[in-house]
Amino acid sequence: MEVGWERKGVRTVTLVRPTGYGTYVGGFAAVVLAGGAARRMGGADKPTIPVAGQSMLTRVLAAVHDADPQVVVGRVPPDLPVPVSSTSEQPPGGGPVAATAAGLKLVPSDVSFTALLAADLPLLTGEAIDVLRLTVESAPMQGAVYRDAEGRRQSLCGVWRTAALREALDQVAEERGGLHGASMQNLMEHLRFIEVSWRRPGPPPWFDCDTDDDLRTAEEWAR
């Protein structure tokens, strides 16, 4: 792992090769955000759309199979093949930051690390999560998120120190008078994190599906 430039509490790293996985003393949880209107896909229930025979939500949960608890914020389909805890932000439609806070309420206070993920990441893998976990353990930072090939931060594909994430949510709520409508940018301004570039073979783990074209691309990659 090579550390690159730093700005406003953000450092970037490029993964050269895996160096081993973290021990995660204190536990590991996952909060998966499964809400959203999916307007560019005609209002479809995106997390339930299959890619290579499995729903996107199922594929994301498989990548964090060792997380305890696994929390889904949004609708959980009755045929989901794995048991999860579920909740939703109140009132509904509050956006990703409000949904994050709702999900963290179901994560015990003694869990040290939490993956915060969108439900439409069908190419996410356990290896990609392990890279983020190792990065957070190894650096004096509060979290690690992926950065795509164009340099865009993938805010909903990351692993965080749970206490730091909670503190940042409290700060946003205090500044805004609540979390409804807050953006991920609002939240990230209160966190110190590393941006990780994926350089290994295979599809990018941060690839999300916002359009029908994205779905077709993910299907081709997943074959």
Positive/negative CA dihedral, 174, 180, 186, 191 = positive
Which pLDDT belongs to residue 41? Answer: 53
Of 111, 94, 113, give the one whose Cα is nearest residue 102. 94
Structure tokens at 67: 């997380």
Share of the chain above pLDDT 90, in %: 74
For residues 129 and 115, give the distance between their C-alpha atoms in angstroms, rounded to a whole number.
Answer: 8
pLDDT tens figures, 103-138: 999 999 999 999 999 999 999 999 999 999 999 999
For residues 211 and 223, give the distance between their C-alpha atoms in angstroms, rounded to a whole number.
Answer: 19
pLDDT tens figures, 137-166: 998 899 999 999 899 999 999 999 999 999
pLDDT tens figures, 166-196: 999 999 999 999 999 999 999 999 999 999 9
For residues 161 and 141, give the distance between their C-alpha atoms in angstroms, rounded to a whole number.
Answer: 9
Those residues with Cβ within 8 angstroms of residue 99's Cβ, 6 or more apart along the chain or in another chain: 33, 35, 73, 74, 88, 89
DSSP state at residue 75: -
Distances (CA, A) of 58 to 115, 120, 122, 133, 195: 15, 10, 9, 20, 26
H helices present in the chain, as ranges: 56-63, 96-104, 126-138, 162-176, 184-188, 212-222
pLDDT surpassing 80 at residue 42: no
Residue located via tokens 């966190």: 191
Residue located via tokens 């990018």: 204
Which pLDDT belongs to residue 15? Answer: 34
pLDDT surpassing 60 at residue 209: yes
